[in-house]
Structure 1
């Protein structure tokens, strides 16, 4: 069903063009109002030129400026929007565009029975951005998490291949003046058993990327039914069978039920020489136990998240050739970031135009289990 407000805007634009052709004064601009609640630096990071043109065509846009930023104690950290500036910027807005550095949007923004009807988040989780109570007030929320998921999927695939082929060891040998490693070979991903913990959007992106490799993909997720698993081309399994894989990757949200779910005992059940990738949340796995098995040479691991963050590792960990470490950047790519605002606004406009839900729509029904 076509959104009534947007129909009125379209008709208004038609009348304005028609009146111009007759030499009449144009009618007032009746585009929806959008408040960009993100710093100028963040806007440059997540809004590409095509999206800026789209914003200008479809909305009356209010951009935050340098005067709306909060002071920062740490000059190495990017400036965020001052919470005190939010009410001024968002006043009368139909849509707010948010991202990293946007302050939490309190319920008071909607307390007068008004407030934005759409929150378009050009970043991942919205759990620290909004109070779920606003969803009961008819506010529609969109998150670019599914777009970020593709970047994370690429990171996971790259880590799996890098460690399977033991590339860090060969790289280290060359740097130390060596050559071939006698009696030592890497392994292939093709046809291997891949265990995936959690059927989140990042897991689904990885599953898509794994298709050419013909892997035996098993997924543990209590919310994944057999029908959906068949659509994904995977099979479901209990957690114990899932960790018994040549490759194990973790894709769970940060909720109480997932904290410590990959226990010390489960880690002992991971096969010798297996590759473990964690790009979701550090507390999901017993990090100390995993590192013991890595340092002992039994397992290979790629860690992008930690418990706590940032980590403080001993020299033995930092020198391990069977361990890849990255600073929580699995979803951080140049192309991915620039695509975020366009990705989420495309779905927001489809919602405003036609009432259709795109992949970035945040379903209130799954709020409790979402990342």
Structure 2
């Protein structure tokens, strides 16, 4: 039983237990337990079912706030029925689509996420990929290992360089906007395709709004930052890929399904296009996929987002939101249900 004079709201951690261990350093746990009543050793990756831990069931019944992250189970109507006091969910990661259900919105539960914090490392990865693409770093590194002798690299790379190159950004998401911001100090011409951005807003961002096909045809680099929704599946398809100039680079840090990989592979195998792919469809390419070995493809295992110590940025953001809730203030970064149809 808790002290009746303790006015801190009750909270429950709901995520994979190993994620909780990575999120919370001792100092961050101390901050959390100073703000809310919670047992930080009790981490729920299941919130319903006949085998539910009685301690979790009790904490859920008492919880006013859920602090979630990767591995959080869906907040179904059944779960909400067992959580009569629940008022808010703070997600210490990006998208909430995996666990915040329609039942949450119908109940009037307020939701915040750390999507803005998670966007920063993705944008940094993208900036590095764009700069390396212009300098032809991937291809020249492979060629250097092949040649191993004096060679006229300036002649071979005479069309390389980042000065006045055109970068096409597909999607003015949080990440897309941060990439645009990071590109400002450089001498790039930046195009944007986003049907939800007006001409006035594009001007304020400092980009040229264009249709998707035009962006692909003009971009020396095309970087994908749109959400995974039914309308964006294979939005970069055969026509868009065929329109890209020879030697252009396609970057995807969003979701693999946005690119028609079957249409992309022939361009990569032929060496006509380069690619930086942090995500694929399927997420783990089959062992025989040429993506692993092509010299013009940089394939990484979905590491552009928060990794290692970067996840503490998300923890700190989530704790800031918890503190705002405790103080009766609105969330700094709330999730609006109306926007979920065209956001991550």
SS for the counterpart of 2:235 is coil
For residue 159 of structure 1, what is the aligned residue in structure 2?
129
Matching of residue 148 in structure 1 with residue 118 in structure 2: yes
Shift of 1:286: 1.2
SS for the counterpart of 1:254 is coil
For residue 204 of structure 1, what is the aligned residue in structure 2?
177
Shift of 1:370: 1.8
Q: TM-score, normalised by structure 2?
A: 0.88
Q: Is the radius of gyration larger for structure 1 or structure 2?
A: 1
Structure 2, gaps ≥5 residues long: none
Cα distance, 1:314–1:339 mapped onto 2, change above 3 Å: same
SS for the counterpart of 1:60 is coil
Matching of residue 43 in structure 1 with residue 20 in structure 2: yes
Match of 1:247 among 209, 221, 225: 221
* Partner Cα separation in structure 2 for residue 290 and residue 180 of structure 1: 34
* Partner Cα separation in structure 2 for residue 276 and residue 270 of structure 1: 9
Shift of 1:341: 2.0
Cα distance, 1:29–1:316 mapped onto 2, change above 3 Å: closer
Shift of 1:277: 0.1
* Partner Cα separation in structure 1 for residue 127 and residue 69 of structure 2: 26
Match of 1:169 among 114, 139, 155: 139
Equivalences for residues 1-371 of structure 1 within 5 A: 28-65=5-42, 80-81=45-46, 83=48, 84-85=52-53, 86-111=56-81, 114-176=84-146, 178-179=148-149, 181-182=151-152, 183-185=155-157, 187-244=160-217, 245-312=219-286, 314=288, 316-359=290-333, 361-371=334-344
Shift of 1:98: 0.9
Contact 2:112 2:331 in 1 (8 A): no
Shift of 1:316: 4.5
Structure 1, gaps ≥5 residues long: 1-25, 70-79
Cα distance, 1:265–1:313 mapped onto 2, change above 3 Å: farther
Cα distance, 1:262–1:173 mapped onto 2, change above 3 Å: closer
Q: Mean alpha-carbon deviation: is it higher for 123-132 or for 315-324?
A: 315-324
Contact 2:237 2:259 in 1 (8 A): yes
SS for the counterpart of 1:124 is coil
Counting matched residue pairs gives 333
Q: Mean alpha-carbon deviation: is it higher for 305-314 or for 108-117?
A: 108-117
Cα distance, 1:190–1:108 mapped onto 2, change above 3 Å: farther
Shift of 1:47: 2.5
Q: TM-score, normalised by structure 1?
A: 0.82
